Structure 1
């Protein structure tokens, strides 16, 4: 084995202590033991090896194992290292410049996802020129790392979650001219991004989420393929978008959770390649602009939690590739447009809750055969729920083809790389805020697992469509707080995937279908405040639901409500069963009392003394013997 130059056991479920004998393979250049379950202290790996190959060893990958301990300074023996990956372990302690002092050829370093602290003196000049530095969660802060100024070959830099509490120096932004990937998210970086004339030939993905960047964005950032600036304090959008600079390959623009005010600028035509746009949780007002209809490739439009008004403009029907449309928690009004169902037939997620949409539930929404999440709650919809719900064919399937959906949404194909460049990132994840089992939750990429309909808090009337029982994959159905009447569909037990059902505060009547007790996954049930009657089923786990699930139905009875049903009890006295009261009942009470007293007196007056006192017992037995003899004669 001394002639072995490369050894790879990537993702082979290896367990036990990290082996050290590889250091005795004198020709070994590359060792890849990543994505296993190896453990033990990393220092033993170096100390127990002679490392006769240290002058030829170039690539070491121990990432994503369970290795512990501190990185020893003896690592400098591997002075020819070019590629070092120790990420995704449980390493701890400090890494100083002395650990890296001999690595003049190092170009790829990944120490992320450990508990390491990188403590470099401010004057440190690294001996290497790295092309990739991945140092996420490595505690570089609080000052911005000045030694990065010496790195002139960087294409990939990740210093996210590093406790940086500083402004970003001007020299750093100029390095974007060479970068393809920059991640500085989840720090406390502050100040404005300077407006400088830069060319970004690599179309980088720039991820600056969860910092304190403020003010307006400089136009040069439009050259990025992905721009992620959620959870900052950006306040101006107009000067960024409306400067007549074309965004040739911008795929993602995420400016959610900022302080952007005024109206949405009406100059989206320059971002014609955009796939994902998220402006949620800002302070935007006014109408949705007409030029948004120019975003023909758009797959996700997220505008929730703003102050938008007016109707949805018909220009949006040109966005035929939309997979997610979320305009929830605004002040939009008018009808729900029929063209949503006619033009946006790729929709998986439609969230319009918390607006002022009125009139009927348009029948054209039934054309959305791929829909998985439909939320029209807290509007002013009236009339009946259409009976075409069984056209939601995706909800009729019990499982979701995750791979197919992932390809559709995130474009894992060569064509996307050709359009958006080699560093294009589809880091953006679809997410949605949804009331789940009575509690508001945020779901990440819900289209992989969740199928739900929420029409609650409207003025819908008529019966619950029987076609709903064919949505076999639905896990949550909320029709509460409407004016629905009629009975609960008897075959609702067909919805075997159902985990949450809320039909409360309607005008439903009749019995609770016994088929509901067949839903083994049902964890949340609310049928309260209707006109339901009869006995609450007790089969299977149905008795685990509390009284609050059924209260407000005056004609319901059963153990859950601690209320007996007619015929639950029978009596031993015919007179009572016939309703006999008065003198007869008094007579029988007196009779039973006198019988009890007589038994007590008779027992303790005669039998009791015989059992207790021996002379009486002997005399009584002699009397019985004489009596028996006389009878025999």
Structure 2
């Protein structure tokens, strides 16, 4: 018997007996089986057999406290399945489960898919989890897991997705990614990791998405992007990274989203970044980059760039024909509105609020057929509001 996935759907409490009954869906050989199907799979176990008391003595997959009795039914059923079936997928997304992950989870040695996200698991990740060699997907995001990330993650050569975001880990990201050649997505956002970027991530040639936003990572961006040619998303914003934007980023021709905001990066935007023709989102604000005019001249080669959130000069720029959203709020700009904006006819939204712009609001917005949001508040514009603004189609 091959159980490809177990999805817990609902818990029902029987108030009369003070016990909890489990409703679950088992997917066997690609076919969904509801509660009756589970009964048949479990050697004709009765519904009452599934609704066992929390005092039962079966070894749980999750170590429970006395406040977690309601989850014992699920744990005991899973323990039975681990013994009598080949469970290769376990989806407990958003079921509100609590507890400490137990080393006995390694008993599911055929497991390839594990989703425990959006729950309340706490404590450290047991190192035994990384003994399950067939794991390809691990999603532990949005829990209360603690401690350091076990280096055993480097043993999972089949891993394609690892999401541990929104937990309470400490320490550094272990530099153990050399053997994870199948890894496509790594997400570790809003955790508090410190130290340098693990350079072994450069070995993950299949990597498409790297999310390390909102940590305390420092040092330079020492990744060999020439080996990460499939990368489409790189989010390193809200860290403490410093040094230059690496020129090797230009090798990532498939890159669509690049977020480096709120770091301590310095120097110029590399000329070769003009080769990122697929780039559609770029955030560089609140760094120490210099020569913004040069940066914009470079970025004009990125023809799909639709979002730019960074200080801009008022002349020397031809315009961005594909620009759809422009936010330059609270950037300290002075002078009149830049003339190159009149060439950005694809704009949907523009925010120039809280600057020091002055002069009259230009009348050339009449050709902006897609524009539906405009915020020019808290500046020093004067004169009448152009009639053309009242005639915008959107």
State yes or no: 1:220 paired with 2:220.
no
Q: Give the Å deviation of 1:158.
A: 0.4
State yes or no: 1:328 paired with 2:315.
no
State yes or no: 1:314 paired with 2:298.
no
Q: Give the Å deviation of 1:365.
A: 2.0
State yes or no: 1:230 paired with 2:232.
no
State yes or no: 1:186 paired with 2:186.
no
Gap change, CA 1:118 and 1:350, over 3 Å in 2 = same
* Partners of 1:351 and 1:376 within 8 A in 2: yes
State yes or no: 1:93 paired with 2:92.
no
* Partners of 1:230 and 1:256 within 8 A in 2: yes
Q: Give the Å deviation of 1:334.
A: 4.1
Counterparts of 1:21 and 1:210, CA distance in 2: 38
Counterparts of 1:91 and 1:275, CA distance in 2: 38
Q: Give the Å deviation of 1:236.
A: 2.4
Counterparts of 2:6 and 2:212, CA distance in 1: 35
Aligned equivalent of 1:620: none
Gap change, CA 1:390 and 1:10, over 3 Å in 2 = farther
Q: Give the Å deviation of 1:275.
A: 0.6
Gap change, CA 1:276 and 1:120, over 3 Å in 2 = closer
* Partners of 1:338 and 1:362 within 8 A in 2: no
State yes or no: 1:177 paired with 2:181.
yes
State yes or no: 1:253 paired with 2:273.
no
Aligned equivalent of 2:122: 117
Aligned equivalent of 1:302: 309
State yes or no: 1:72 paired with 2:75.
yes
In the alignment, structure 2 segments of 5+ residues that lack a partner are 14-19, 36-45, 53-68
Gap change, CA 1:22 and 1:29, over 3 Å in 2 = farther
* Partners of 1:369 and 1:391 within 8 A in 2: no
Q: Give the Å deviation of 1:30.
A: 3.8
Counterparts of 1:159 and 1:168, CA distance in 2: 11
* Partners of 1:46 and 1:75 within 8 A in 2: no
Counterparts of 2:102 and 2:264, CA distance in 1: 39
* Partners of 1:22 and 1:49 within 8 A in 2: no
Gap change, CA 1:26 and 1:131, over 3 Å in 2 = closer
Counterparts of 1:26 and 1:287, CA distance in 2: 58
Counterparts of 1:350 and 1:133, CA distance in 2: 40
Counterparts of 2:130 and 2:8, CA distance in 1: 34
Counterparts of 1:282 and 1:150, CA distance in 2: 37
Q: After superposition, where does 1:27-38 map in structure 2 within 5 Å? A: 30-31=32-33
Counterparts of 1:123 and 1:30, CA distance in 2: 30
SS at match of 2:183: coil
| CA RMSD, 1 decimal | 3.7
What are the superposed Cα offsets for residues 143-163 of structure 1, whole Å, 9 maximum, x if unpaired? 112331221101111011221
Q: Give the Å deviation of 1:230.
A: 1.5
Counterparts of 2:29 and 2:202, CA distance in 1: 46
SS at match of 1:371: coil
* Partners of 2:363 and 2:388 within 8 A in 1: yes
Gap change, CA 1:368 and 1:253, over 3 Å in 2 = same
Aligned equivalent of 2:89: 83
Gap change, CA 1:76 and 1:321, over 3 Å in 2 = same
Gap change, CA 1:380 and 1:109, over 3 Å in 2 = same
Aligned equivalent of 1:354: 354
Aligned equivalent of 1:344: 344
SS at match of 2:350: strand
Q: After superposition, where does 1:519-530 map in structure 2 within 5 Å? A: none
Q: Give the Å deviation of 1:228.
A: 0.8
Q: Give the Å deviation of 1:285.
A: 4.4
* Partners of 1:20 and 1:46 within 8 A in 2: no
Q: After superposition, where does 1:464-543 map in structure 2 within 5 Å? A: none
SS at match of 1:378: coil
Q: Give the Å deviation of 1:176.
A: 5.5
* Partners of 1:118 and 1:138 within 8 A in 2: no
Gap change, CA 1:384 and 1:121, over 3 Å in 2 = closer
Aligned equivalent of 2:392: 392
Q: Give the Å deviation of 1:128.
A: 4.1
Gap change, CA 1:183 and 1:388, over 3 Å in 2 = same
TM-score (norm 2): 0.76
Aligned equivalent of 1:378: 378
Counterparts of 1:330 and 1:91, CA distance in 2: 45
Gap change, CA 1:284 and 1:209, over 3 Å in 2 = same
Aligned equivalent of 2:56: none
* Partners of 1:10 and 1:32 within 8 A in 2: no
SS at match of 2:100: strand
* Partners of 1:338 and 1:364 within 8 A in 2: no
Counterparts of 1:295 and 1:27, CA distance in 2: 46
Gap change, CA 1:135 and 1:31, over 3 Å in 2 = farther
Gap change, CA 1:32 and 1:352, over 3 Å in 2 = farther
Aligned equivalent of 1:629: none
* Partners of 1:329 and 1:353 within 8 A in 2: yes
Q: After superposition, where does 1:438-457 map in structure 2 within 5 Å? A: none
* Partners of 1:219 and 1:245 within 8 A in 2: no
In the alignment, structure 1 segments of 5+ residues that lack a partner are 34-43, 51-66, 395-633
What are the superposed Cα offsets for residues 514-545 of structure 1, whole Å, 9 maximum, x if unpaired? xxxxxxxxxxxxxxxxxxxxxxxxxxxxxxxx
What are the superposed Cα offsets for residues 310-343 of structure 1, whole Å, 9 maximum, x if unpaired? 425423x2x22221111222243443234423x3
